[in-house]
Amino acid sequence: MLHTDTLAEAPRQPQADTGPDDGFLPEEFRHFADDPESITARAARRFGVPATSFINWRWQMRHQVGNAEQALARLALSASEEDGFKLLADAFVSGVTPYYLALMDQDPSKSCPVRLQGLPRREELNVRVGVKDPLDEVPHSPVKEVVQVYPDRVAFCVAQLCPVYCRYCFRKRRDEEDGLHFNRRIVDRGIAYIASNPAIRDVLITGGDPFIASDEAIDNLLSRIRAIPHVEIIRFGTRTPVTLPYRVTARLAKILAKYHPVWLNTHFNCAEEITPEAAQAVANLVDHGIPVGNQSVLLRGVNDTTERHIKLLRELLKIRVRPYYLFHPHLIEGTEHLRVPVDAGLRLMKSLRGNITGLGIPTYIVDTPSGKVPMMPNHVLGTDGEDLLLEDVRGQIWREKSALNP
């Protein structure tokens, strides 16, 4: 039995028992349950449960769809997806929340960006260049589950469970280990490491998904980190606004806000994920003063065209999420069908400039074991005397006079 109410050791399971439903109804999500046309109410009917159960995040975790039989009870599967569930059972855990499943196109013959991210596919068995740990995180871990690449900051991987097991996750390797989720010994060691290294100013709490724990466990973790005098900012990496918005309650946001400055990055990859429910989750955070940024991964069939990407970015700005990074896909095994060539990524980035406010343009990043490398479309054509020759956003040449000797 897995309980995330405490910092107890816990195995990772797709059908995790996350504790009692406790009758908690997040009031700010209640109107979705009451509106028969909302995504929430329609999905609850499909799952045959009261919508008031559907908005309970613990119910969602307990009813993760984790195998072909469970998926087929709710959704037609393509042959590739059905094989994926069966053939990959020992390779990488499968699991999606009922909420996220409800965002999927019901026709398996259509290319659906949500299905591509959440459902296993036969193609994952084709491994040509992918590896288990593309960022060499294991050798960059001074203590287990603390990853340090830069002197001033660490990623503190306290969680192992996720509402959805994204098929391209670069931490798939953690799936093979047991008992990482909010493991008390690992958390204690991580806190001790951070406390004994005064150069660390910035702690990124990540996982897995660190919001898959009780409010009390998160509160306790934050209070311990905030008690370290040299930690200036605390950041979270969580996909719950996308995959399990009901988890991001005003009550949780209020707890986070006790430990400001707290920043948060989430991970929307396509406009289909930006629902009124997701917008509510983000509003709960932003209204408590927690800035929300977005880190996408460039994925074939999900967000690799200008049209799809601009739609995503516009929708993010509308719900007050700042696009932050667009990651070139990590070289992780089982993801080659989702990878996009880097020149296509650069062309995509170039196509954004001039078509959306700069506030909405993320930095395109190739993530390496020694840090993030920004990739910029080149607008500098050369020099002519003291003048700089640039290609402007319309593709025309601009001469910036005396730029070299102002």
Cβ neighbour number for residue 296 with a 10 Å cutoff: 23
Exposed e or buried b for every residue in 224-243, given b needs 16+ CB within 10 A? ebeebeebeebbbbbbbbbb
Kindly identify the residues of this chain, within the stretch 377-406, that bind ligand SF4 according to CB under 6 A. Answer: none
Write each residue from 214 to 243 as x if it is in contact with ligand SF4 (CB under 6 A), else as -, in one continuous string.
Answer: -------------------------x----
Whole-angstrom distance, CA of residue 120 vs CA of residue 136: 25
Nearer to ligand SF4, 51 or 209 (CB): 209
Two tokens, residue 168: 């391209």
Binding flag, residue 158, ligand SF4 (CB under 6 A): no
The enclosing H or E element of 380 equals: strand 380-384
Binding flag, residue 92, ligand SF4 (CB under 6 A): no
Measured in degrees and rounded to the nearest 5, phi and psi for residue 368 equal: -125, 165
The CA-atom distances, in angstroms, between 232 and each of 136, 185, 215, 221 are 26, 24, 22, 15
Please list the helix, strand and coil fractions of the chain in percent, rounded to the nearest 5, in that order: 35, 15, 50
Two tokens, residue 363: 């930095």
Find the shortest distance in angstroms from Cβ 67 to ligand SF4: 17
Find the shortest distance in angstroms from Cβ 342 to ligand SF4: 20
Find the shortest distance in angstroms from Cβ 37 to ligand SF4: 29
Strand, helix or coil for residue 354: coil
Kindly identify the residues of this chain, within the stretch 166-195, that bind ligand SF4 according to CB under 6 A. Answer: 166, 169, 171
Binding flag, residue 133, ligand SF4 (CB under 6 A): no
Nearer to ligand SF4, 113 or 208 (CB): 208
Binding flag, residue 281, ligand SF4 (CB under 6 A): no
Cβ neighbour number for residue 131 with a 10 Å cutoff: 14
Two tokens, residue 341: 């060539």
The size of the chain, in residues, is 406
Q: Which stretch binds ligand SF4 (CB under 6 A): 37-45, 103-111, 164-172, 228-236?
A: 164-172
Nearer to ligand SF4, 57 or 165 (CB): 165
Q: Which stretch binds ligand SF4 (CB under 6 A): 12-20, 207-215, 340-348, 374-382?
A: 207-215
Binding flag, residue 247, ligand SF4 (CB under 6 A): no
Per CB under 6 A, residues contacting ligand SF4 are 162, 165-166, 169, 171, 207-209, 239
